[in-house]
Structure 1
Amino acid sequence: MGPYFDPDFDGQLERIPPPRVCVDNDTCEDCTLVKVDSANRHGILLEMVQVLTDLDLIISKSYISSDVGWLMDVFHVTDQLGNKIIDKALIQYIEQSLDARKKEKGEVITCLGNMVGSGLLASEYTMLEVTATDEPGLLSEIAAVLTELHRYKIISCRAWTHNSHVAIIMYLVDEATGKPILDPDSLAHIEEQVEVVLGAHFGEEETRRRRVKVSGPLAEGRVHTERRLHQLMHEDRDYEAGPPPVQLELGGQFGTRAALIQARKGWLSSLSLNSPLQSPSAAMQAQVSIDRWIDRGYSVVNVRSMDRPKLLFDTVCTLTDMQYVVFHAAVSSHGLLAIQEYYIRHKDDNTILDKEAERQRVTRCLVAAIERRVSHGLRVVVSTRNRRGLLAEVTRILRESGLSLTRAECALRGERAIGTFFVMDASSTGGGEVDPKRVEAALRDEMNGGIQLDVSNTHPRWSPIKMINHGNDQPVVAKGRSSIGFFTDSSTSSTSSDQEDERPRFSLGSLLWSHIERFSSNFGSIRS
């Protein structure tokens, strides 16, 4: 069963000029340019970024501009091994996916071995959503109760934690038929059983803080899984917890200008994230500033954070779901530092952020969106032949080993199940160190062989890429470039001191406008 398409919307698409999509491997030596010239509508930028990130591609730089009803975007991309995109099937899939008219896109395998395509849509499965206060063992108990029902099979699961909040999404099918669960009584029964688990954890006084929802395939409002996780966390107001975010001072010692200078000197590139003095969170906290460009009628959002994969998706997703329209943007990286600049207005009334309370809220939400995906704790990768109750078994072993999950991602790949879990010591409020040998021994002892494990408590600058070779069941580790988020932009020329002092609030503005002008005048030849 394919995705649902609104016939009225399809009719409108016929009257909209088709987008021009160009996948250019000639302009740059070290990356592929994906250039899109399209009619503009709310959310289209997020859809473009989502297509590229779902294909496990890395967006190293991007320049975005819209004028009235038209949008022009340039994305510098590679795969996660640092290679240009030369596979013809992948190029065709990108071109078709960025055109809303093309409904049949086929299927492709990404550089990480993930299968992506129209026949693998999450919208075709029954979905379980849970939000609650984060508690050790919660995911384990939910997986266990679903296993005990002897009727349902977990196809995939993702769980995020942030600021003592947890959001979980599971996709389920009928175990006997392998098809989605459609019966309303069955959907209600699943919801009831999960509610029992949460009730045992939190009691009646925590009813307001928890939410369980089970929906059938093609339910109204179904969106991309990771976008939905952001929405669930946002609805649970995880961004309100904790102290106010550190404000980004563009002219200060650690502002954008100073950061660029330090990046060119190699300070950020030489930061050791394994150093006790420079942990990832302490070394580079996400910082946001929001200014008003009254002459042009924009709010200018500057974001500085540690670079990582899917960073652009997380920020664009948050702005889109908060009903802000990105009119222009420029993103780049400098060593470990990622710099993003967005020129936005509110979707409904086309206004800028005038009120301090709203600026503070947007700042908190952006910082939360960046922090949700940050990995904390010991990284445990499990690969084994799929069997009933596997997720419940693995999470039970971790729970009984005194560990608490901070993030989890599990899915089927052929006949194998692959899960990545980040765990911390459940007894330590500060997240004490976990002995990887003890965790590996516990998993091997209780899972009776046939399991591949990668357990590591180090935080390298970027994690190595892992692909599973289905033929011999041996993991292949491939290391690409030194970063797999925004690559270092060595070609960007420095701006003079006088120019930066004159426009301190718009650090990337001149770079953005110069690229957009060249983009507009000659769509076929962009050099950066």
Structure 2
Amino acid sequence: MKKVCWPYFDPEFDKLPERINGPTCRVCIDNESLEDCTVVKVDSVNKQGLLLEVVQILTDTNLTICKSYISSDAGWFMDVFHVKDERGNKLKDQNVINYIQQAIGTTRGPRNSAKAKAYASKVFKYENTSEHTAIEMAGTDRPGLFSEISAALADLHCDIVEAHAWSHNTHLACVAYISDQSTHTPIQDPNRLASIEDHLTTVLRATTTASRGPTGSLANQGKEAKTKGLLRGDQGTMTNVERRLHQLMLSVRDFDGPSSSSSSSSSSSSSSLPSTSPRTPLGLESQEEGRKTMVWIESCEEKGYSMVSIECKDRRRLMFDTVCTLTDMQYVIFHASISSHDDYAFQEYFIRHVDGHALNTESEKERVIKCLEAAIERRVCEGIRVEFSAENRVGLLSDITRVLRENGLAVVRADVATQGEKVVNAFYVRDISGNEVDMEIVESSMKKEMGPNIPIVFHVKNDSHGSSSPERSRFSLGDMLKSQIERISHNFVTMVLMM
């Protein structure tokens, strides 16, 4: 009998492609290079939406992105983030570091470790086993609308477990998670879900007059509520909710509101304008006098990009809002530069549409400008922030919002969450008549409504900003990025190889 011989394959052969080309995704968290912040470097095979996914992970862990450099040409994604924690310090919590690495998918260890899950539960404020029915609502806003929605759900015997609402340019978007009032379980009966949708849609469409929108259609058309079925807790992270709020606002065209009615201006020149000739971007008044939100678009013809530039007051989650909007509008970000200084942010994005084309028409440029401005504005709320926690009970949110409405206050933003037996509420409110808000009267009315035997923790914060702020010279990487894209990409590659 002949001896059969088989060729020998080294077990390391399967790892050869990775050893040659590197891992498909790699992250490095560096606390040594800079004194005041942590550097997060991501090196990965590129795909549409990857930048947004990374930004979502960093935002979910409550990190502030103060600077970022992005390059994703030739199918490879290379990004550097300078981040700080909630206290403005370096990132030291090893659980956070492990979670970021595992969430982005760069570590070779167990991706679902108990520590990472425990930290995720703490950050996202959910229980992994919880399930709720999600309801999405969008339409024209009016004073007391959020209170009417809360009352309608209470009348329908629905317990509001969590709710988030944004109001902007006379439009409202709301995402709520509900359960059955008696059983505290998700609502699955199709007939009951249809009844809830119809009831809430009627509330949204209950306008006193049927005005016509900018396209000539009735303004109350398109206002609706949709149940989204069961939502597991681990799918309901805050950035996912906020992305959906952005999408709902976009669907009702809040960017066509009064604050975006001025004419836009964009430059089609392939080279930067001389520094002695000021650009004329579309500017919106911010909360600070002398500060504007400015967005403008230029063409980078030699590379086939459109360069979107943004200047505005810096704040947390700003990069998430702008990247989210561009991604949901079906634009691909190839290169970007993000920086902030003296509470002022400057962002540049080199983009193309997913079909590979740059922004060629003035109408398309104007729409992108308006949508980005709206995305920046939605989270900025003028008025008083009211925070309070109390023992949860059926109809609590309805009673609270009714007290605010009876005191002449309009809710312009709301974040409601249930934590065990307590409910934690945060509202941004303003006086409907434009008068100063007397929160002592509101607090007294709130405690009277809750009853003397129900403890309630009440906190008021005025988010109004001062009128003066230091000016600074604008630092732009636009010229360098437009004329030397290859050099930047090469620098990224060199930097990654040196890690």
- TM-score relative to the length of structure 1: 0.76
Matching of residue 237 in structure 1 with residue 236 in structure 2: no
The answer to whether the aligner puts 1:414 opposite 2:427 as a matched pair is no
Provide the C-alpha distance between the structure 2 equivalents of 1:94 and 1:511, rounded to a whole number of angstroms.
32
Paired residue for 2:348? Answer: 341
Q: 2:383 is matched with which residue?
A: 377
- Structure 1 unaligned runs (5+)? 1-15, 258-277, 462-482
Letter in 1 for 2:226: K
Show the 5 A alignment for 1:322-337. 322-337=329-344
Residue of structure 2 equivalent to 1:119: 128
2:68 corresponds to: 62
Cα separation, partners in 2 of 1:398 and 1:21, compared to 1, 3 Å: same
**In the alignment, structure 1 residue 214 sits paired with structure 2 residue 218:** no
Query: C-alpha deviations, 1:324-356, integer Å up to 9, x for none?
Result: 0000001001112100000111112x1111111
Q: State the 1:63 CA deviation.
A: 0.7
Say if 1:245 and 1:364, in contact at 8 Å, map to a contact too.
Answer: no
Q: SS where residue 80 of structure 1 aligns?
A: coil
| Amino acid across the alignment from 2:418 | L
CA distance, structure 2, for counterparts of residue 126 and residue 161 of structure 1: 22
- Give the TM-score, by structure 2 length: 0.80
Deviation at 1:183, TM superposition (A): 2.0
Q: What's the offset of the Cα at 1:186?
A: 2.1
Alignment of 1:282-431 (within 5 A): 282-348=289-355, 350-426=356-432, 428=433, 431=434
How far the C-alpha of 1:209 sits from its partner, in A, is 4.2
Q: 2:166 aligns with which of 141, 155, 160?
A: 160
Question: Once the two structures are aligned, what percentage of the paired residues are identical?
Answer: 43
Matched, 1:107 2:107: no
Q: 2:72 aligns to what SS in structure 1?
A: strand
8 Å CA contact retained: 1:244, 1:364: no
Q: What is the aligned partner in structure 1 of residue 11 from structure 2?
A: none
Q: Are 1:134 and 1:161, in contact at CA under 8 Å, matched by a contact in 2?
A: yes
Cα offset, 1:409, TM superposition: 1.1
Secondary structure of the 1:217 match is: strand
Structure 1 residues 183-208: Cα deviation after superposition (integer angstroms, max 9, x where no partner): 21221121122123234445786541
- The one-letter code matched in structure 2 to 1:126 is T
Q: Once the 2 structures are TM-superposed, how far is the Cα of residue 379 of structure 1 from its aligned partner?
A: 1.2
Task: Using the TM superposition, give the Cα deviation of residue 516 of structure 1 relative to its aligned residue in structure 2, in angstroms.
Answer: 5.1
The match for 1:474 is none
Distance (Å, rounded) in 2 between the aligned partners of 1:460 and 1:284: 11
Are the equivalent residues in 2 in contact too, given 1:247–1:287 (CA < 8 A)?
no
* 1:224 aligned residue: 240
- Which residue among 454, 465, 469 is the counterpart of 2:459? 454
For 1:180 and 1:406, how far apart are their aligned partners in 2? Answer: 28
Which deviates further from its counterpart, 19-28 or 446-455?
A: 446-455
Alpha-carbon distance, 1:365 to partner = 0.6
- In structure 2, the gaps of 5 or more residues are 1-21, 211-217, 268-272
Report the AA paired with residue 48 of structure 1: V
Partner of 2:184: 178
* One-letter code aligned to 1:208: Q
Q: 1:117 Cα shift?
A: 7.1
Which residue matches 1:442? 445
Q: Is the 8 A contact 1:293 1:299 kept in 2?
A: yes
The one-letter code sitting in structure 1 at the alignment partner of 2:441 is R
CA distance in 2, matches of 1:402, 1:284: 30
Distance (whole Å) between structure 1 residues aligned to residue 276 and residue 396 of structure 2: 50
- Deviation track 1:140-176 (CA, whole Å, cap 9, x = no partner) reads 11111211222x2211111111111111110112334
Answer yes or no: is the 8 Å Cα contact 1:64–1:516 preserved in 2. Answer: no
Q: Work out the CA distance in 2 between the residues paired with 1:438 and 1:356.
A: 51
Q: Can you list the C-alpha shifts for 1:482-516, whole angstroms capped at 9, x where unaligned? A: x9xxxx9x9xx998xxxx8xx9x637768998765
Query: 1:252/1:65 Cα in 2 relative to 1: closer, same or farther (>3 Å)?
Result: same
Q: What displacement does 1:522 show?
A: 2.5
